[in-house]
Amino acid sequence: MESILSFALDGYSIAYFDTNIYGILVQRPESWQSICTYLQDNGLLLGVSDVNVLELSSAPGLHRDLARFLLQIPSAWFKPATRLMSEEVQAYLDGGQVTPVVGPISSLVLESDDPVAYLEAFLRREVVVNTRSTMVRRKDEFERRIRETMDNFEPVTGDTYSEADGPYYAFQLIWLQILCEDYPECAARVKNEMGIDWRPLPSIAPQLRGLWLFALAQFYRYYLHRRRPTGTDYGDLIQTVSIPYCRVAVVERELSQDLSHIKGNDSVLQHTEIHDLGFLRELTGLSLQ
C-alpha cells in the first residue's frame, strides 16, 4: 500500500474518532485544548465521517457543543462511505487516486454569520434525519445477512479459521457481493487480472483499500473472533472504509482490537496508528468515560 501521506490535505494528514468518542469529548470542553494541540503539533485534521454525522444526529442535546468543538479544532468532512467506495472503483479503473475528504469544516462555513448555528442546523436537516432512519433499517438487514451467511465461508487454509483466511474471505466479499453486483466493469477487470485461480494469496489493488478493510473487518469480527452481530456493528464496519486513509484512528475498544489484529497481518493499515479511548485519557489527563 502506498504511503498514507499521499492523502494529506494542504500538508495535513487525517485523524479519525468514532462516534462514541465525540459523544464523550463534546461533554468535556476542558479536553478540547489538549485535542487541538495534539492535532496541530502532529499536522492532523480530524476527519468527520457520514457515520459520525448520522449517529450524532440522533443526539440533539449534543449538537451545539459538537459544533463548537468542530470549529475550535482542525477538522474536515470525510466523503460518505458509499462515495469513497465509488471513487475507489473509478481510481482502480483509470489509475487515479482517491481524495477522501471534502475540505476543512471551518472553510465550508465561512459565509455564515453564525457558524455554530449553521452546523447545528446541518445536523438537524431533513435529509440527515431521513438518512439516519435508512441507516437504522440497513443495520437490521446487515445483521440478518451476517447471521444467514455465516456458514457460507469455510476455512481455506485448515480446519479452523486463521488470519491466513482473511484475504480469501475479503476477496470473495468484495468481488462476488460488491463489485459483481454494483460495479460489473470493475469486477471484470479484477477477474481478468487475478485469473481463475485465487492462489497465491489474493489481494486487491491499493486504490480499493477502504473496501478491503471493510471486508477484512467482517472476517476478523465474525469468523476469527467469533463475535455475534450486535446493534452497533453496521456503523462500526461502515466507518472502516474511511480509516485506511487516516494516520491515526481512535475507536471503541472492540473495534480497536479488530483493527490492531488486522494491522499485524495485512498492509492495509501499515500507515495508520490504532488507538482506543485510553489514548485520549492519557493525552488529556482526564478520566474520560
> What is the β-pairing status of strands 44-48 and 248-250?
unpaired
pTM value is 0.90
Is residue 34's pLDDT more than 90?
A: yes
Query: Cα separation of 153 and 272, whole Å?
Result: 29
Is residue 197's pLDDT more than 60?
A: no
Adjacent-strand bridge partners of 14: 45
CA dihedral sign of residues 16, 106, 3, 35: negative
User: Which residue did the predictor score with more confidence, 137 or 94?
Assistant: 94
Cβ neighbours of 218 (radius 10 Å): 21
Is residue 213's pLDDT more than 90?
A: yes
Give me the amino acid identity at 186. C
Q: What is the pLDDT of residue 87?
A: 93
Closest by Cα among 264, 254, 259, 232 to 244: 259
Domain positions in the chain are 4-284
- Provide the b/e sequence for 86-106 (b: ≥16 CB within 10 Å): ebbbebbeeeeebebbbebbe
C-alpha cell of residue 258 = 479488530
